[in-house]
Chain A
Amino acid sequence: TQLLEQSPQFLSIQEGENLTVYCNSSSVFSSLQWYRQEPGEGPVLLVTVVTGGEVKKLKRLTFQFGDARKDSSLHITAAQTGDTGLYLCAGPAGVTGGTSYGKLTFGQGTILTVHP
């Protein structure tokens, strides 16, 4: 079973600060996705990283996929109150010969609170 561990579990910061959330595994993933979930809603896909070493930017959010495709990070610059939410990393669970089984395995999530 491929597991994803996220850290930190909770993050409470002031508006304007920078932060990084980590997603680590002992297994290689063919891709990793980052989602954000707000209370009472479903996860919203932010980005998919596929290539080892890949860096993707989405406004103030920067996503990186580790060279070995075992870890990923999400960095937020100058956090805003609207960034508050649960951040989840996820990856295809069970890959054989490059073909995903379809289902995703999720990290436990990082609850981010940005105070004004």
Chain B
Amino acid sequence: NAGVMQNPRHLVRRRGQEARLRCSPMKGHSHVYWYRQLPEEGLKFMVYLQKENIIDESGMPKERFSAEFPKEGPSILRIQQVVRGDSAAYFCASSRGRGQDEQYFGPGTRLTVT
């Protein structure tokens, strides 16, 4: 009965480095969502993926950010050339299907850019 798993839980990167955040959805769930929570701000949608497909990336910054959900393995959110403004908590959620299905969140990855 494992829930949504994310790793690492904490990640420290220097400016200019790359950050890779991983998310394994709940068993039986094939839809993955990434959200970002900045200090003093609410949760903001970034991207919605199904296996091998990006369904909606309307919340992703145009540059440096990318996401994938391969046929095998976890979903990955990749941030290239990180800047201090990327410091935030990144949450992954999963659902069984699209539409009205409820989303269940992982514990998050706290990214700190020094």
Contact = CB atoms under 8 A, between A and B. Distances in A.
Interface size class of A (residues with CB under 8 A): 20 to 34
A111 to B, nearest CB: 11
B42 interface: yes
Which DSSP category, helix, strand, loop or mixed, fits chain B's interface? strand
Interface string A14-39: 00000000000000001101010000
Interface string B84-95: 000000010101
Interface in B91-114: 91, 93, 95, 98-100, 102-108, 110
Contact of A42 (B45, B98, B105): B105
Contact of A93 (B45, B104, B110): B45
Interface size class of B (residues with CB under 8 A): 20 to 34
Contact of A50 (B48, B91, B98, B100): B100
Contacts of B102: 33, 45, 48
A109 B42 CA distance: 7
A94 to B, nearest CB: 9
Interface string B49-69: 000000110110000000000
Contacts of A104: 33, 35, 43, 45, 93, 103
A102 B42 contact: no
A43 B94 CA distance: 12
A103 B91 contact: no
Given A42-B106, A92-B99, A103-B58, 5 more contacts: A31-B100, A103-B48, A103-B56, A104-B93, A109-B42
Closest CB pairs A-B (n = 7) = A42-B105, A103-B45, A106-B43, A108-B42, A43-B105, A106-B42, A102-B48
Interface of A: 30-31, 33, 35, 40-45, 48, 50, 88, 90, 92-93, 99-109
